[in-house]
Amino acid sequence: MQNGNEARDHVDRLQAQWARELPDLDTEPMTILGRAYRLSNLVRPSIEETFAAFGLDRGEFDVISTLRRSGPPYRLTPTDLYTFLMISSGGLTHRLDRLQKAGLIVRERSASDGRSSVVGLTEKGMALAEAAIRADMTSEARYLEGLSKEDRATLAELLRKLLVSLERADAVDPA
C-beta separation of 129 from 67 below 8 A: yes
Query: pLDDT tens digits for 79-103?
Result: 899 888 888 888 899 999 999 999 9
- What pLDDT, on the 0 to 100 scale, is given for residue 45? 96
Query: Span 133-146, mean pLDDT?
Result: 96
Beta bridge partners of residue 119, listed in sequence order: 76, 107
- β-strand partners of 140: none
> pLDDT tens-digit profile of 154-170?
999 999 999 999 988 87
For 3-156, where are the E strands, in sequence order?
A: 75-76, 105-109, 117-121
The total of other beta-carbon atoms located within 10 Å of residue 137's CB is 10
Q: Establish whether the linkage from the previous residue to 73 is cis, with ω within 30° of 0.
A: yes
What's the pLDDT score for residue 112?
74
pLDDT at residue 170, rounded to an integer: 79
Total count of residues recorded for the chain? 175
> CATH topology for 56-165?
Arc Repressor Mutant, subunit A (1.10.10)
Q: What percent of the chain has pLDDT over 90?
A: 78
Helix (H, G, I), strand (E, B) or coil at 153: helix
Question: With 80 as the cut, is the pLDDT of residue 145 above it?
Answer: yes
Percent of the chain with pLDDT over 70: 94
Q: What is the pLDDT of residues 7-20, one digit of tens each?
A: 899 999 999 999 99
User: In the prediction, which pLDDT does 173 show?
Assistant: 61
Query: Whole-model pTM above 0.85?
Result: no
Residues of the chain within CATH 1.10.10.10 domain(s) are 56-165
